[in-house]
Structure 1
Amino acid sequence: MEENEALEPLRRVLLERDLGGCPGTVSAAVEAARTALAGGVDTLSLWELGVLSESDASEARRLLFELEQELWPLLRLPTTVEGRDRALARYCLRDLLDGRLDPLAAAERIGYELCPADDPGSPLRPVRGWLYRAEDQQEHCGGLTKDLVAELHHLAAQLLAGPLS
C-alpha cells in the first residue's frame, strides 16, 4: 500500500472532526491509525492512537491534533473551509457510488451541510436541486424512484470527474 493511500482514512477522520476537534467516532480514528501504520507510516502518535480504547475521546482528540501537526506535509489537508467542504463532498459522493451511503443521506449532507447557501456558483449546487426534487417525490410518491436515484449517481460521477476532481 502506498503511503498516500495509507493516509487517506486519517485525512478523512481529520476533516470529519467537529468544531471541538472530536473525531466522529474514536473507532474510526483508531482504524485510520492502524491503516496508516499498515501502510508504512510510522509515528509514536499513530501507535498510541492505534491502541486507544473506544471510550477515550479526549485522548483521541489530542492525538489527532498531534498527528495533524506531525504529518501536515504528507496529509495535504485543505486550508480553507471551502476546500474542506469539497473534500468531504468527494468522500460523500464516493460513498454514495460505492453503496456505503443512502442516496438521500448523501444528498442531504452535500446539499445542506457542504454546499454554501450563499454561493450560487458552487459545483455542489446541482445536488441541492436534486434534493428538492427528491423531497417532493418522497412527499407525493412515497419514496425515491430508481430513475431519480440513477440521476444522483450520474451527477455524483460527473462531479467527481469534473469540478471536484
Structure 2
Amino acid sequence: MELDEALEPLRRVLPERRTVGHPESVVAAVEAAWAAPAGGVDTPSLWELGVLSDEEVLETRRLLAELEQELWPVLRLPDTVEGRDLALARYCLRDLLDGRLDPLVAAERIGFELCPADDPGSPLWPVRGWLYRAEDQQEHCGGLTKELVAELHDLASQLLAGPLS
C-alpha cells in the first residue's frame, strides 16, 4: 500500500469531523488509523487513535485534531469550508455510485448540507434541484422511480468528471 492510498481514509474522516450535525464516527476514525501504518504513515497520535474503543469519543476528537496537525503537510486537506464541503460531496457521490449510500440520503446530504443555500452558482446546485423533484415524486408517487435514481447517478458521474474532479 502506498502512502497516498494509506492517507485516503484519513482525508475522509478529518474533514467530516468539522461538519455540523455529523460528528466524526469513532469507528471510521479508528479504521482509518489502523489502515494508515500499512502505507508507511507513522505518528504518535495515529497509534493512540488505533487502540481506542467506540466509547472513547472525546479522546478520539482530541487525537483527530492532533493527527491532523501531525500529518497536515501530507494530507493535503482543503483549507476552506467550501473546499471541505466539495471534498465531502465527492466522497458522498462516489459512495452513491458504488451503492454504499442511498440516493435520497446522498442527495439530502449534498443538496442541503454541503451546497450553500444561497449560491445557485455552486456546482452542487443541480443536486438540490434533483432533490426537490425526488421529494415531490415521493409525496405523489410513493417513492423514487428508477428513472429518477438513474438521473442522480448521471448527475453524480458528471459532477465527478467535471466541476468536482
Kept in 2, the 8 Å contact 1:13–1:23? The answer is no
CA distance in 2, matches of 1:37, 1:121: 40
| Unpaired segments ≥5 residues, structure 2 | none
RMSD of aligned alpha carbons: 1.3
Decide whether aligned partners of structure 1 residues 19 and 157 sit closer, same or farther in structure 2, where only a CA change above 3 A counts.
closer
Q: Paired residue for 2:116? A: 116
Match of 2:67 in 1: 67
Q: Report deviation, 1:23.
A: 4.8
Quote how far apart the aligned CAs of 1:24 are: 2.0
Quote how far apart the aligned CAs of 1:85 are: 0.4
Provide the C-alpha distance between the structure 2 equivalents of 1:99 and 1:34, rounded to a whole number of angstroms. 24
For 1:47 and 1:79, the matched residues in 2 are separated by 25
TM-score by length of 2: 0.96
State the distance in 1 between where 2:39 and 2:3 align: 6
Amino acid at match of 1:129: G
Runs of 5+ unmatched residues, structure 1 = none
Q: Does the 8 A contact of 1:23 with 1:29 survive in 2?
A: no
Runs in 1 of length 4+ with deviation above 4 angstroms? none
Q: 9-18 vs 134-143, which deviates more?
A: 9-18
1:95 maps to what in 2? 95
Partner of 1:146: 146
1:14 is matched with: 14
Percent of aligned pairs with the same amino acid: 82
- Inter-CA distance 104–52: structure 2 relative to 1 (3 Å threshold): same
Name the CA distance, whole Å, in 2 between partners of 1:126 and 1:6: 32
The number of residues matched between the two structures is: 164
Cα distance in 1 for residues equivalent to 2:85 and 2:56: 27
Q: Distance in 2 between matches of 1:84 and 1:148?
A: 28
Deviation digits for residues 105-151 of structure 1 (CA, Å, limit 9, x no counterpart):
00000000000011110000000000000000000000000000000
Q: How far, CA to CA, are the matches of 1:141 and 1:86 in structure 2? A: 32
CA spacing shift, 1:113–1:23, aligned 2, 3 Å: closer
Aligned letter for 2:158? Q
TM (norm. structure 1) is 0.96
